[in-house]
Amino acid sequence: MSGGAADSGLHERTLADLAEGLATGEFSSCELTEALLARIDRHGTTLNAFITVTAGQALEQAAQADKVRASGDAGRLTGLPIVHKDIFCTEGVLTSCGSRILDNFVSPYDATVVERLSAAGMIMLGKTNMDEFAMGSSTESSYFGPVNNPWNTQRSPGGSSGGSAAAVAARLVPAATGTDTGGSIRQPAALTGTTGIKPTYGRVSRYGMVAFASSLDQAGVITRSAEDAAMLLGVMAGCDSRDSTSADHPVPDYVAALAKPLKELRVGIVRQHFDEGLDEKCADAVRTALRTLEEAGAKLVEVDLPNIDLSVPTYYVVAPAECSSNLSRFDGVRFGHRAGDPQDLLDLYCRSRGEGFGAEVKRRIMTGTYVLSAGYYDAYYLKAQKVRQLISQDFKDAFESVDVIAGPTAPTTAFAIGEKTDDPITMYLNDIYTIGANLAGLPGISVPCGLIDGMPAGLQLVGPHFGEGTILACAHQYQQLTDWHTRCPEDFA
């Protein structure tokens, strides 16, 4: 390849565009992989977006993909690069989940998401940094240090999929997987100017995805466009016999669904979303985006989610309760960190966990233990599950009269690293607009809708259960009318 790998310009292209280039023989998967690995090498340290880079393995896979293509058996994704959040198990590769307790864990198997993307011919370039066990909204709780936002490296990229979002925003890779329990794909996508989709609960298998809160966790992707997200979701989605909560529901052609025009689309605007707490400039950016949808033929309808203000406190009972149960498997016995010289079994458990978990994870385990403990269960856990039902019903009622619900993804643009670490509640409120979709199991997508003082803002679109096709189409049509998703942080152009 002429001109050297690093300035090939391949990093500027979307997944759909790269697929075209591979198909026409403009470049090979080996050339593409080398170009992106060189970019990761050059910028990776500045951003701290990666925990592991799998260069050797990636080059082997790329060579294999080129052979498959030469033999005429290539699919649309064959030879295209992707990175995985370090929460997905990858056989033979460190799967740390951003934690000290798993900093020596080499997974013996692949997550279904990893397996399916790999079977489609995609090349894994590495594993991305994240909040420890996906618990955080800033990627500051990672044992491997915080991730820096490519738009301003003093600021957070959001979280917990902050490494994935930063890598895509900085054009180190065209696509990355993520997980979203309370906003962990959509909020970092908003804060980094990328597109991030959290599918319906159960749409994508959770097998091999380290569990945080099992009734809320869902896997998705962060990309540069809704079109790219549609290409990947079609491969990731679908029933999996190894995850009994994965939905036995047909997977539509999401790429074909993108063509659906905005005309006649009923877009719900939630009254409560524009109350206090939302930065005025973010509100303006979202209002402008809504006008764009309206001018293209969408019908804006005001809707009410009367209990949505209770979504964050509800989440901070349900999620920690499930986390305290899920994380009991880390005991220093079968895998992961084990404390030295234990006095007895209790000491082995307590010190392995005390040393292995970071401060935020400990707080969540303890919050969950408290709300599930004798005498408090009814007051907290049971009550939260009742309120969750109310919130879920509010969404159902709203979807009687609208096709999608649109609003802000996050209350502000990216905040400074260290700004919100002293008060957990301030950090939790970052997810005020995203958590509702997790509680109700609904799909949501965040798309870039403006730059405020040089930092990206996001528009969130939430759909009814299995309405991925609708929100992807709405996002795609919006991206045909705007160019916010094509903007690149200056230092990474």
Q: Which of residues 210-269 bind other proteins (CB under 8 A)?
A: 215-216, 241, 244-245, 247-248
Contact between 416 and other proteins (CB under 8 A)? no
Q: Measured from the CB of residue 466, what is the shortest distance to other proteins in angstroms?
A: 9
- What element of type H or E holds 277? none
Contact between 183 and other proteins (CB under 8 A)? no
Secondary structure (3-state) at 196: strand
- Chain centroid to Cα 430, Å, comes to 15
Hey, which residues between 289 and 328 contact other proteins (CB under 8 A)? 307, 310, 312-314, 316-317, 324, 328
Among 23, 256, 379, 481, binds other proteins (CB under 8 A): 379
Secondary structure (3-state) at 270: strand
Contact between 275 and other proteins (CB under 8 A)? no
Among 280, 343, 400, 483, binds other proteins (CB under 8 A): 343
Q: Which is nearer to other proteins, 235 or 247 (CB)?
A: 247
* Distance between CA atoms of residues 102 and 201, nearest Å: 26
Q: Which is nearer to other proteins, 95 or 148 (CB)?
A: 95
Q: Measured from the CB of residue 118, what is the shortest distance to other proteins in angstroms?
A: 19
Q: Which is nearer to other proteins, 7 or 423 (CB)?
A: 423
Q: Exposed, middle or buried by CB within 10 Å (0-12, 13-18, 19+), for 379? A: exposed
| Nearest in space to 235 (alpha carbons), one of 189, 175, 194, 162 | 175
Contact between 386 and other proteins (CB under 8 A)? yes
Q: Which is nearer to other proteins, 27 or 349 (CB)?
A: 349
Annotated active-site positions, please? 85, 160, 184
Q: Which residues contact 338 (CB under 8 A, 6 or more apart)?
A: 332, 348, 352
Residues 344 and 414: beta-carbon distance below 8 Å: no
Contact between 359 and other proteins (CB under 8 A)? yes
Residues in the chain: 493
Binding map of other proteins across residues 443-472, x = CB under 8 A, - = no contact: ----------------------x-------
Among 440, 445, 447, 449, binds other proteins (CB under 8 A): 440
Composition of the chain by helix, strand, coil, percent to 5: 45, 15, 40
Contact between 338 and other proteins (CB under 8 A)? yes
Among 13, 342, 480, 488, binds other proteins (CB under 8 A): 342
* Distance between CA atoms of residues 420 and 158, nearest Å: 11
Binding map of other proteins across residues 150-179, x = CB under 8 A, - = no contact: ------------------------------
Contact between 346 and other proteins (CB under 8 A)? yes
Among 13, 266, 362, 487, binds other proteins (CB under 8 A): 362
Q: Measured from the CB of residue 12, what is the shortest distance to other proteins in angstroms?
A: 38
Contact between 336 and other proteins (CB under 8 A)? yes
Q: How far is CA 285 from CA 87, 149, 197, 411, 460, in A?
A: 33, 20, 20, 12, 12
Contact between 377 and other proteins (CB under 8 A)? no
Q: Which is nearer to other proteins, 104 or 154 (CB)?
A: 104
Among 57, 385, 480, 482, binds other proteins (CB under 8 A): 385
Residues 417 and 140: beta-carbon distance below 8 Å: yes
Among 347, 397, 454, 491, binds other proteins (CB under 8 A): 347
Angle between helices 29-47 and 55-70 (to 10 degrees): 160
Contact between 276 and other proteins (CB under 8 A)? no
Q: Measured from the CB of residue 230, what is the shortest distance to other proteins in angstroms?
A: 22
Contact between 57 and other proteins (CB under 8 A)? no
Q: Measured from the CB of residue 269, what is the shortest distance to other proteins in angstroms?
A: 24
Among 212, 254, 415, 428, binds other proteins (CB under 8 A): 428
Q: How far is CA 270 from CA 65, 274, 303, 427, in A?
A: 46, 8, 5, 23
Q: Which is nearer to other proteins, 121 or 358 (CB)?
A: 358
Contact between 396 and other proteins (CB under 8 A)? no
Contact between 418 and other proteins (CB under 8 A)? no
Contact between 370 and other proteins (CB under 8 A)? yes
Integer-rounded Cα radius of gyration of the chain: 21
3-state secondary structure 328-371: HHCCCCCCCCCCCCCCCHHHHHHHHHHHHCCHHHHHHHHHHHHH
- Chain centroid to Cα 252, Å, comes to 21
Contact between 493 and other proteins (CB under 8 A)? no
* Distance between CA atoms of residues 82 and 253, nearest Å: 21
| Nearest in space to 266 (alpha carbons), one of 85, 461, 55, 413 | 461
Sign of CA dihedral 171, 175, 178, 183: positive
Q: Measured from the CB of residue 360, what is the shortest distance to other proteins in angstroms?
A: 9
Contact between 441 and other proteins (CB under 8 A)? yes
Number of residues that bind other proteins (CB under 8 A): 75
Residues 181 and 213: beta-carbon distance below 8 Å: yes
